[in-house]
């Protein structure tokens, strides 16, 4: 069994609820419909930073962020390989194809974590966490403190 690490960067004002799934429930995402709680993490901190750039436009100099490190045993994670994903999983904007995958995974409760290819960098992974799953307490979450992007990226 191996330890898997995921990274999450959130605006400081949302730090207290960073792992509640509330943001995804309200605003939906690539892998979930509105009303479905889910927490998105990235395989690498740099990928989590790219996610901020893609989803938070414009990022301003006054935006304050926090970074979280989540870790878990690979035994509590399911994986969906790129070749198994249906055509259109990476559509822009995200459509029903990818939302159905995440919604069905949450409903099935077959694992607390689901690893999928990232749309931004398909060779890296996005991790979906189910905050309502019975194994959610097995995920170790550590607030790593403040996070800022290089001003040249903004």
Span 35-86, pLDDT tens digits:
999 999 999 999 999 998 887 766 665 778 999 999 999 999 999 999 999 9
User: For 136-141, which contacts have Cβ atoms below 8 Å and span 24 or more sequence positions?
Assistant: 136/112, 138/72, 138/73, 138/76, 138/112, 139/70, 139/71, 139/72, 139/112, 139/113, 140/70, 140/71, 140/72, 141/19, 141/68, 141/69, 141/70
- Domain limits for position 108: 3-153
Q: Quote the mean pLDDT of the chain.
A: 94
* pLDDT score recorded for residue 60: 67
* pLDDT score recorded for residue 75: 97
CATH number at residue 82: 3.90.175
Place of tokens 């069905």: 104
Span 30-43, pLDDT tens digits:
999 999 999 999 99
Mean local confidence (pLDDT), 17-41:
96
Question: What pTM did the predictor assign?
Answer: 0.94
Count of domains for the chain: 1
* pLDDT score recorded for residue 59: 65
């Amino acid at each position: 069994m191996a330890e898997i690490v995921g990274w999450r960067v959130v605006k400081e004002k949302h730090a207290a609820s960073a792992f509640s799934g509330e943001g995804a429930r309200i605003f939906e995402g690539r892998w979930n419909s509105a009303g479905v709680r889910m927490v998105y993490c990235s395989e690498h901190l740099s990928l989590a930073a790219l996610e901020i750039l893609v989803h938070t436009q414009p990022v301003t100099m006054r935006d304050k962020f926090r970074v979280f490190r989540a870790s878990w045993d690979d035994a509590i994670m399911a994986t969906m390989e790129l070749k198994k994903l249906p055509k259109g999983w990476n559509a822009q904007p995200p459509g029903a194809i990818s939302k159905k995958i995440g919604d069905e995974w949450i409903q099935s409760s077959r694992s607390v974590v689901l690893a999928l290819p990232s749309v931004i960098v398909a060779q890296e992974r996005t991790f979906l966490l189910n905050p309502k799953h019975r194994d959610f307490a097995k995920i170790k979450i550590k607030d790593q403190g403040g996070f800022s992007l290089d001003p040249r990226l903004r």
